[in-house]
Structure formats: C-alpha cells, structure tokens
Amino acid sequence: MTLTEPAPTEDQKRQKLIAFLLNSVKHELERSTLPADKLQQAANNALEKAYQSTRLQLSGPLRDEIFKQVLQEFEGYGPIQPFIDDPDVSEVMVNGATRIYVEREGKIEKTRARFSNDEHVLEIIQRIVAPLGRRIDSEHPAVDARLPDGSRVNAIIPPVAIDGPSITIRKFKRDKLGVDELVQLGSFSATMAKFLQACVVSRLNIIISGGTGSGKTTLLNMLSGFIPEDERIVTIEDAAELQLRQEHIVRLETKAPDENGGGGMSVRELVRNALRMRPDRIVVGEVRGGEALDMLQAMNTGHDGSLTTIHANTPRDTISRLETLVLMSGLDLPVRVVREQIASAIDLIVQQTRMSDGTRKVTQITEMQGMEGDMIVLSDLYKFESSGMAKDGKIRGEHKASGIRPLFMPQLEAAGFKLGPEVFGVNISEMLASNRNSNGRNH
C-alpha cells in the first residue's frame, strides 16, 4: 500500500509563492550598492520579474497583497510591519512565532498575523539590532534597541525565552502629545499643567514614577518642553526616544559591551560624564540601577532642574525604590543617609498611572518636604479622585487640589510665578466669608 502526501492547502501554496518571490528578490539584489531611495524601486522591479517567471494569473487584489507581504519581508519587519505602520497601534508584542499581540487605545488584542517559525522571528530581531551594532545570541540572549523611527524595542531569545524568541516594541509617537492634548485627554487638569510648568521653569528636581506602559516617557517629554530655550540640556537614555524641541541639546545613549566585554557605556557612566559637559539640565530617561546615587548627588550639588522617571506604583514606593537603587551603587551607606540624600535632592514626585480602562492619568503630585526622624515626609498637592465607571467603560473622576501650598513656593515666586491660592484648591470666596463670619462673632 502506497501512502500519498495530502495536497497542499491554499495557505501553504501562498507561503511557498511568497518564499520563492522573496528569495528571487534577495538573489537579484544581494550585491546591490544602490542608495536606499533607489533600492525600493529596484526591489519592485525584481519582484515583478520574479512573478512574471511563475506564469501565474492571480487576481489583482491577491497579487497586490502578496507583493506587499514580500516587500515587508524584504524591506521591513515581516508580519509585524503592518502594525508598526498602523498609527492606532501603540505596542506590538511577539510571544513566539505564532502569537502576536498589539495594543490599541489601551486595550491588548491578539492578531491573526504569524511568523513562519522561530528562525523567522530571529531573522527579524537580527535585522533590528544589526544596524545599531547590538548583539544578541545564546551568550547575550536579551537586547534593548530602537527602530529608525525611534520606537523602543526589547528582544529576548532562547535559552532564556522558553517558548521561543520574543519581541516587544513600544512605538514612537510621531506627533508627540502636548500640554493641551494631555489636558483634553484627561491626563491632568489645566491648573496642574500650569503648576508643573512653574515647577520646571523654577528648576525644581522632579521624578516621574509609574508602572510599565503608564505614560512616563510621554509626560517626561511634555515636562522637558517647559525648559527654557537658552539652557543646555543633556539627555541620557538606554534607547533614545525623547523628543525635545529645544536646540541646545546633547543626546546620549548607552552602548552594550562588545564580545570581549569592553567598549560599553552604561547609564551610570553617562550620568558621570554628563556632569563634565556643563549641563544646565540633566534629563535621564529612567533610573534603574546605581546611577540613582550619581543622579541624587548631581541634584544636591548645583544641578537643579533635573528630570527623570522611575518604576514605582506610589510616591511612597518611589522612595523605597530609590533607596534600593542607591544601595545597588556598591556603596555601603546607612539607610538614614540615603533617605537624607533623597529628601534633599527631590522636590516633586509626579505619579503616572495606567487606569483599568486603558487611559493614562497623573494620579498624584506629591511634594517631598524633608525628614521627620528617620522618615521622609510626603505631602500630596493634587490627587485624582475616581467617581466610578461610566456605561462606556471609562473611569470617571476629577483631579483635585489638596488645599496645601508647597514649601517651595518662595522658589516659584523668585522665578516670577505668582500662583494664587485657587491653584492649590483654596476657595477665596469661602475663605473671605469665613473671615467675615469670624469677625462678626468677635464683635
């Protein structure tokens, strides 16, 4: 008895055709030295030539779709290229070859896209990291990188990634959100925006805390936009993604060590180097290691107006996280000394939160008021108060001022900001009425 192989499915036939066309284009252009602007036309010509050689007569829409897939494989990032091109997608997550998820409007959904196999995913990862001189292999199974448009990429491969190579892409927003857009979206109130602008211009040291995907970088971009044009700014990031509009900027990015373990530059080394560059402001994309100590020391020695972000879920957690990171610096410092460093360096914590409905909001603006005994004293100036869920699934609520004026008010006033009591939630008419009633009782 003879066993016959099952006839190939339409999808298998399609994948076979795509593989043939892609290999033909690669073979045709493998030695090409054409510039990028002419390479695309050459690829189109080679693809047309390869298709004609098959003598197939596909329908126009199907032919166009297959051509698009081939070019995405040749010029882009394969099956995830459409999501990178889609302005409504904010994040792309590849959990192995057959599970690709995207985030749209704060909600995660599984897509029908898939890679051919794990080798296909690895090929795309290499295409991302190779132009940046980054390395990923079994000895270095994880890498941070960025796409040419600035989108942030993390890739991790076996043996660390058990279920196959994984890619996470945090997309770079071409049109960065400004103050007005963020107020309109409900991220914070117009009054809070006015207050934060005064704090940045007045050279307060500000740390933005929040969880993964909470919008810390977006908020850091916005706050950095308040820095005056005549100040020299040095930015330090793992993968450059800040979009500052000022002209006098030096952008620094970390570099991984080479295969011999040399030539690398960490965030900590870049922070130390930045101090020698005569910066008016130092903006660190995120503190996540021993550089926290260097950052705090810079803030305490005349480098006012510094900005950074940190992973923490509350302002109080931010302090605990900073303590841990400072201890990672290798110096055996008493906890009280570390807390004194933090209390004297940081003026303001801005807590950013990704809400359950997918929106991002500033949920607290908290002043660091100094030490009381062994504890750092925190005072909330603004909080988001939720009033429940609406029928459309959106969280309802409002940002409210606490009525407390910050201790650093003289610093704001010295910089020319005369913020009235209403900015901090004090109702002037009620206060005057209360005074009149009090005076009437006294008489």
Compute CA 369 distance to the chain's CA centroid, rounded to the nearest angstrom.
29
Residues 127 and 267 in one domain: no
Q: Is 265 in the same domain as 214?
A: yes
Q: How many domains are contained in the chain?
A: 3
Question: What CATH number should be reported for the domain holding residue 243?
Answer: 3.40.50.300
Picking from 174, 198, 222, the residue at the C-terminal end of a domain is: 174
The number of C-alpha atoms within 13 Å of 231 and in the hemisphere containing its C-beta is 23
* Residue ending a domain, choose from 174, 199, 223: 174
In a domain, 440, yes or no: no
pLDDT score of 410: 95
Query: Would you state the pLDDT for residue 105?
Result: 80
Beta bridge partners of 100: 94
Residues 152, 226 within the same domain: no
Q: How far is the C-alpha of 168 from the C-alpha of 7, rounded, in Å?
A: 37
- Residue 159, preceding peptide bond in cis (omega within 30° of 0): yes
Specify if 435 maps to a domain. no
User: Does residue 374 lie within any of the structural domains?
Assistant: yes
Name residue 436's amino acid: R
**Which H, E and C letters describe the chain, residue by residue?**
CCCCCCCCCHHHHHHHHHHHHHHHHHHHHCCCCCCHHHHHHHHHHHHHHHHHHHCCCCCHHHHHHHHHHHHHHHHCCHHHHHHHHCCCEEEEEEECCCCEEEEECCEEEECCCCCCCHHHHHHHHHHHHHHHCCCCCCCCCEEEEECCCCCEEEEECCCCCCCCCEEEEECCCCCCCCHHHHHHCCCCCHHHHHHHHHHHHCCCCEEEEECCCCCHHHHHHHHHCCCCCCCCEEEEECCCCCCCCCCCEEEEECECCCCCCCCCECHHHHHHHHCCCCCCEEEECCCCCCHHHHHHHHHHCCCCCCEEEEECCCHHHHHHHHHHHHHCCCCCCCHHHHHHHHHHHCCEEEEEEECCCCCEEEEEEEEEEEEECCEEEEEEEEEEEEEEECCCCCEEEEEEECCCCCCCHHHHHHCCCCCCHHHHCCCHHHHHHHHHHHHHHHC
The first and second tokens of residue 184, run together, are: 């309109």
Look at residue 7 and tell me if it is in a domain. no
Distance between CA atoms of 8 and 397, rounded to whole angstroms?
57
Chunk the chain into consecutive blocks of 10 residues (it has 443) and report each block's average pLDDT, rounded to whole numbers: 64 75 74 67 78 79 77 80 90 94 89 90 89 82 86 91 93 78 92 96 97 90 94 89 88 80 85 92 92 91 91 96 92 91 96 92 96 95 92 88 94 93 75 54 54
Phi, psi torsion values for 306, nearest 5 degrees: -75, 150
pTM of structure: 0.76
In this structure, are 71 and 43 located in the same domain?
Answer: yes
Please check whether residues 136 and 236 belong to one and the same domain: no
In this structure, the answer to whether residues 221 and 365 fall within a common structural domain is: yes
Backbone angles phi, psi at 398, to 5 degrees: -150, 155
Same domain, 126 and 221: no
Q: What is the pLDDT of residue 443?
A: 52
Contact 67, 75 (CB under 8 A): no
Residues 6+ apart with CB under 8 A from 251: 235, 237, 240, 242
Strand partners, 166: 95, 156
1, 397, 382: which is closest to 199 by C-alpha?
382
Closest CA to 354 of 309, 397, 313: 313
Give the CATH number of the domain where residue 126 resides: 3.30.450.370
Judge whether 371 lies within some domain. yes
Task: Say how far apart CA 139 and CA 142 lie, in whole Å.
Answer: 9
Residue 46 CA to residue 39 CA, distance in Å, equals 10
Which of 153, 174, 195 delimits the end of a domain? 174
Q: Would you state the pLDDT for residue 309?
A: 95
Count other C-beta atoms under 10 Å from residue 61's C-beta. Answer: 8
Residue 283 lies in a domain: yes
Q: Provide the pLDDT for residue 36.
A: 61
Please tell me whether residues 46 and 128 are part of one structural domain. Answer: no
Answer yes or no: is 5 within a domain. Answer: no
156 and 136 together in one domain: yes
71 and 113 share one domain = no
Question: What integer pLDDT is reported at residue 37 of this predicted model?
Answer: 64
Domain assignment present for residue 439? The answer is: no
Residues 123 and 203 in one domain: no
Q: What pLDDT score does 59 carry?
A: 80
Biggest CA pair distance of the chain: 115
Say whether both 52 and 190 belong to one domain. Answer: no
pLDDT at 50: 80
State the Cα–Cα distance between residues 59 and 61, nearest whole angstrom.
Answer: 6
Domain that holds residue 201: 179-429
Query: Quick one: which of 215, 217, 195, 193 has its CA closest to 204?
Result: 195
CB atoms within 10 A of CB 371: 15
Residue 436, pLDDT score: 55
